[in-house]
Amino acid sequence: MAVIKQLNRFCGVLVLLAVSLCGLNASRPAVNQELSTLFNELWQLDENRMRPGIDYNISVQGRASFVSPGNHVVQDHASLPLFSSVDENKLKNLTTATSFMKLLDNYEFSTGVAERVTAEEQTETNLFLDAVLQTEVMKRTHRYLVSKGKSSSNLRLFKNQLHLIWFHLYHRQRNTSPDSCGFEHVFVGETKSGTEIIGFHNWIQFYLQEKNSHLDYKGFKARMNDLPDQDDHVLSLQFSWHGLVKPVGSAFIGTSPEFEMALFTVIFLMNTERSTTVLVNIDQCQMELVVIRHGRALGTAYPKLLSSNSRHVRQHSH
Ligand SMILES: *[C@@H]1O[C@H](CO)[C@@H](O)[C@H](O)[C@H]1NC(C)=O
Ligand SMILES: *[C@@H]1O[C@H](CO)[C@@H](O)[C@H](O)[C@H]1NC(C)=O
């Protein structure tokens, strides 16, 4: 434990160093310290996170090749699945993950096809939000948003606010009935009229689709001198889904649905721009979190890994 603490402190120093060096590069925004502090607290509170090498194992395999958008024939640089094993007993035992998985088949795959919400689906959404609101992660998030004047302290009103941001149906395509919502886009994934994968930034959905052979992992994406490893909690990936290719998709790995919702909800409510990018340090990673609005609801949200500090430490010690 003491060794890990010291290593963490050491990493912290390296992060500061890296940040001050990056600070010379004016094009990159500064690290948001307040949100980094909050998100690290949420990271500590996330008891529903699955542990790499214990609760699940991944195999990143080869580096994916460049694919131009719209091209759906690509070379496969990963003959094996990304997820070699996931402890499903553990996953199904987590209340938020269980109610989360029930929502994954509630949506029409393609934009331009109207969403029909059945009473059963409404109940599932409600149960999911109730489960999320009971977690320490979302309780802390709620307190933060109330302290900033962005949310009501009334739990029912906060739940309505989460519902509007994540589940309010809207048009992604003109001349149709509402065909999308933030939750579907970010956590389930959809296609733009059946020709292009859009959204799809969740690891549980990735794992389940891969397991059912609807999805084929093609390899990782990373900077030339960087290699992801199996305990990274953010990855950039290339994959095909129902015959369409996503050239680069980025997702948290192992984190709980409430953790991801909490981060993106905070950024959504703390900003008013259509598109917001926040630079944060979480655990031993530096990442950008991107949030794009769709009116009063969420359009999309995803993480982009900039550096994983534990990796730099390991490289220096060789
Ligand atoms: C992941 O791999 C480790 C080491 O081989 C093993 O101990 C663990 O049980 C594996 N986890 C799962 C969910 O299979
Ligand atoms: C499931 O959850 C219960 C209660 O939280 C716990 O005691 C049990 O060990 C868990 N089972 C697994 C497989 O994680």
Which of 55, 85, 211 is the best mutation target for the ligand 1 pocket, counting ligand atoms within 8 Å of the beta carbon and taking the most? 85
What is the pLDDT at residue 283? 92
Banded model confidence at residue 71, pLDDT cuts 50, 70, 90: confident
Q: Which residue has the higher pLDDT, 70 or 260?
A: 260
d(CA 265, CA 144): 11
Annotation marks residue 201 as catalytic: yes
CB of 231 closer than 6 A to ligand 1? no
What is the rounded average pLDDT of the residues 209-223?
95
Predicted confidence (pLDDT) per residue in 229-253, tens digit: 898 999 999 999 998 999 999 999 9
Structure tokens at 137: 């992660």
Atom of ligand 2 at shortest range from CA of 87: 13
Kindly name the residue from 142, 218, 233, 246 that is annotated as catalytic: 246
The H or E element spanning position 164 is helix 155-167
**What is the C-alpha to C-alpha distance for residues 56 and 281, in angstroms, rounded to an integer?**
24
Per-domain boundaries in the chain: 2-316
Mutate to test the pocket of ligand 1, among 50, 55, 57 (most ligand atoms within 8 A of CB): 57
Residue 57 Cα: closest atom of ligand 1: 1
* Residue 38 pLDDT > 70: yes
Could you give the maximum distance between any two Cα atoms of the chain, in Å? Answer: 60
Q: What is the mean pLDDT of residues 155-166?
A: 98
Any idea how long the chain is? 318
Q: Is 214 a catalytic residue?
A: no
Atom 5 of ligand 2: nearest residue by CA position: 93
pLDDT at position 14 is 44
Closest atom of ligand 1 to CA, residue 87? 13
- Average pLDDT along the chain: 88
Query: What is the average per-residue pLDDT within 23-46?
Result: 85
- Confidence (pLDDT) at 200: 96
Centre of ligand 2 to C-alpha 92, Å, is 10
Sequence-separated (6 or more) residues with CB below 8 Å from residue 87: 50, 54, 55, 56
pLDDT at 278: 97
Is the dihedral angle over the CA atoms 316, 280, 166, 241 positive or is it negative? negative
Question: From the CB of 51, is ligand 2 less than 6 Å away?
Answer: no
How is residue 262 written in tokens?
A: 């909490």
Give me the pLDDT at residue 303, please.
Answer: 97
pLDDT at residue 7 above 80? no
Residue 242 or residue 1, greater confidence: 242
Determine the atom of ligand 1 nearest the C-alpha atom of 90: 13
Position 148 pLDDT exceeds 90 = yes
Question: Can you give the pLDDT at residue 111?
Answer: 86
For ligand 1, whether the C-beta of 88 sits within 6 Å is no
Q: What is the pLDDT of residue 70?
A: 78
Band (pLDDT 50/70/90 cuts) for residue 6 is very low
Query: Relative to the alpha carbon of 95, which ligand is closest?
Result: 2
246 is catalytic: yes
- Separation between Cα atoms, residue 78 and residue 82, nearest integer Å: 8
Is the pLDDT at 125 greater than 80? The verdict is yes
Lowest mean pLDDT among 12-26, 61-75, 257-271: 12-26
Ligand 1 center–CA 57 separation, angstroms: 6
Bigger pLDDT: 40 vs 111: 40
Report the pLDDT value the prediction gives residue 309, as an integer from 0 to 100. 63
Give the mean model confidence (pLDDT) for residues 41-69: 95
More confident residue, 262 or 115: 262
What number does the ligand 2 atom closest to the CA of 90 have? 14
Selected residue with higher pLDDT from 122 and 22: 122
**Looking at ligand 2, which residue's alpha carbon is closest to its atom 8?**
93
Averaged over 223-229, what is the pLDDT?
A: 83
93 lines ligand 2 (CB under 6 A): yes
